Structure 1
């Protein structure tokens, strides 16, 4: 049963509180749960005694912010860029965000036409290093394109590096993508991605907790990561150093019971060190979109079986393979010795040898049989090289 949408005064109060409470403020979230947004805003604007859980100094700071809010103007600015405000109780609200408990967003500012709730139901986060390598960008774009082609929504943070490659990969495949920003949705950040974020707003969704015009800060980036994790079915990390915001997203995903995945890189790469640490824990190694979907998708969404190329020997029966293995690598052998080596009778061995001859694996020289060049296996050194 769908919850009733919030009354208009409650919605307007939540709009106002996006300028007062910082993203992820669990104390403020507790107030909202206990007394409602309207009462929280009323208390902040009045002379009543402070709500529980904050110091007098902190309460005065919140009151100073509350005195300046103009929610009607924020809604007008958002509408001017094709945006809207979505809050708990709305049909578009992604209920997966409720898993954040009191740290869930007060509400979300959303640009774009699709329904955020519907898109979040079948979404995967692809995140990673800003200063990624060509390999990282290639893997992120390929993963995102593959996910988009399979009908999955790719969610990332709109940043340089892996994030941007993931968004472009999804868009290039004609798929769906969502950029979650740590600032107002009317203020593309980073500036160098203004065109990309504008394209995402036209073809997908741009989402944020901060009201129009607000700027990003280090703490807001960290809180943005929890939002990416909560919106999606799972998080894929492509290149991340030990100290990385992408790993913070993965940790949030694990805490929320979401799938966490990592794309391996060179063992010597510092940019893959964080991913490898994730894989040494509860992270799952993935190399393409099919493997991601196998993990986060529905029953039956299986990745194809992985194996090396099929060689002619693979097509032989087990009996023929034993006879072939009984022949020496360089010398000839008589039927009796081949039969002993293969653990079979001489009659069976001679039949198998003629079968192998017709397939080009062996050749006969008088009473002896010898491997052809096609069948002669490579000689391996003690160290494992060929």
Structure 2
């Protein structure tokens, strides 16, 4: 067996004997290499300096014994046979498909990853956003997640999530509906889809996108592994968007990992009466606060290139008087909404001399904003339009807030 093949075999073994993200094992791998770490587990002897202190030393000894017991039941060859049959592949640190952003996890970096699907993990995660949230999502939350997933995918961004019911599944489906890339990060073997209600979604992702896990084939999920895998979701992405979440939730756990990794943390606001949005609102109040986002464009502004991915600023409808020069609008505001006023009175209200007021009133009259009358100047008098119900609609100059009452 070549050195490269031996290392891959050792990493597959480590996936089978240890819980994901174990920093103690990460230190062993850093010091001894994957094959050396497996030998240390087999013999129960670790080199000095891995940990310091008697208590830490006892903890390492206990962990080594636990790994040694699991080693007896591990069968990397059988895992590889299942992987070959199902079209899975093992990606290790240093491989061309390994995302270097996972190295930010330090000693808690995955030992290796099992992948299923045609998408290239490293390339797909160069521009990626995690969209996460509650399993018991509201219709509001699932709609927002699906729209975010679709709009991000259309803009060329990969949607990363955990494949759970609710927000996660809606984000994945939105990306797939837009024929875009999406990555599902599992807490179990990719041959054991969980939850089973998403079997159809996972089958489609295996055909068109990508399923990722730290667990070898056959492994069932546990609550702890769900929390631990969240660090991978955060590390693969440039930022994490929480769409809906309770105060205590896996989505907020993912946001915590993202913040610790220096990634962007974003939250979608919801109704203040909704329990499902309390976690998002707390994130917006945290220090530092999460960024409030309401669209894919605002998400991309947070995680995209500085100066290149700015979201358009929303504006209300442009009304005719919005285009007037400030001094001209000042004179227009001095014309009463009802009745009329003389030139001198308008000039005083506008704070200009009478010559300026007279000239600008002429400009306004030419534009149809005012008209001359026997008593001076007034708003144009037009008959009220009939509304759809037969009632009179207000004149545009009144409803737009032009003018002041005398």
TM-score (norm 1): 0.93
Name the residue aligned to 1:26. 23
Q: How is 1:180-199 mapped onto 2 (pairs within 5 angstroms)?
A: 180-199=185-204
Q: Secondary structure of 2:396's match?
A: coil
Name the residue aligned to 1:371. 379
Conservation of the 8 A alpha-carbon contact between 1:155 and 1:179: yes
Q: How is 1:246-325 mapped onto 2 (pairs within 5 angstroms)?
A: 246-281=251-286, 282-299=289-306, 300-325=308-333
The runs of 5 or more residues in structure 1 that have no matched partner are 380-386
* Deviation at residue 70 of structure 1 after TM alignment: 1.2
Sort the Cα spacing of 1:254 and 1:132 in 2 relative to 1 into closer, same or farther, 3 A: same
Conservation of the 8 A alpha-carbon contact between 1:362 and 1:375: no
Conservation of the 8 A alpha-carbon contact between 1:363 and 1:369: yes
1:61 matches 2:66:
yes
Sort the Cα spacing of 1:27 and 1:55 in 2 relative to 1 into closer, same or farther, 3 A: closer
Name the residue aligned to 2:122. 117
Conservation of the 8 A alpha-carbon contact between 1:156 and 1:178: yes
Which moved further from structure 2: 357-366 or 311-320? Answer: 357-366
Conservation of the 8 A alpha-carbon contact between 2:340 and 2:375: no
* Deviation at residue 187 of structure 1 after TM alignment: 1.2
Flag as ranges the 4+ runs of structure 1 deviating above 6 A. none
* Deviation at residue 55 of structure 1 after TM alignment: 5.4
Of residues 40, 44, 49, the one that matches 2:41 is 44
Q: How large is the RMSD of aligned CA atoms in angstroms?
A: 1.7
Of residues 156, 161, 167, the one that matches 1:162 is 167
1:103 matches 2:108:
yes
Q: Secondary structure of 1:291's match?
A: helix
Name the residue aligned to 1:73. 78
Sort the Cα spacing of 1:86 and 1:102 in 2 relative to 1 into closer, same or farther, 3 A: same
* Deviation at residue 364 of structure 1 after TM alignment: 2.7
* Deviation at residue 56 of structure 1 after TM alignment: 4.6
| Count of residues in Structure 1 that have an aligned counterpart in Structure 2 | 374
Sort the Cα spacing of 1:152 and 1:6 in 2 relative to 1 into closer, same or farther, 3 A: farther
Q: Distance in 2 between matches of 1:377 and 1:57?
A: 76
Q: Secondary structure of 1:7's match?
A: helix
Conservation of the 8 A alpha-carbon contact between 1:99 and 1:256: yes
Q: Secondary structure of 1:65's match?
A: helix
Q: Distance in 1 between matches of 2:278 and 2:320?
A: 40
C-alpha distance after superposition, 1:140-183 (max 9, x if no partner): 11111111111110000001111011001111111100000110
Q: Distance in 2 between matches of 1:74 and 1:139?
A: 39
Q: Secondary structure of 2:18's match?
A: coil
Q: Distance in 1 between matches of 2:120 and 2:3?
A: 18
1:132 matches 2:151:
no
Q: Distance in 1 between matches of 2:379 and 2:285?
A: 45
Sort the Cα spacing of 1:290 and 1:332 in 2 relative to 1 into closer, same or farther, 3 A: same
Which moved further from structure 2: 37-46 or 336-345? Answer: 37-46
Q: Distance in 2 between matches of 1:6 and 1:338?
A: 91
Sort the Cα spacing of 1:6 and 1:188 in 2 relative to 1 into closer, same or farther, 3 A: farther
C-alpha distance after superposition, 1:62-84 (max 9, x if no partner): 11110111112111211222210
Q: Secondary structure of 1:227's match?
A: helix
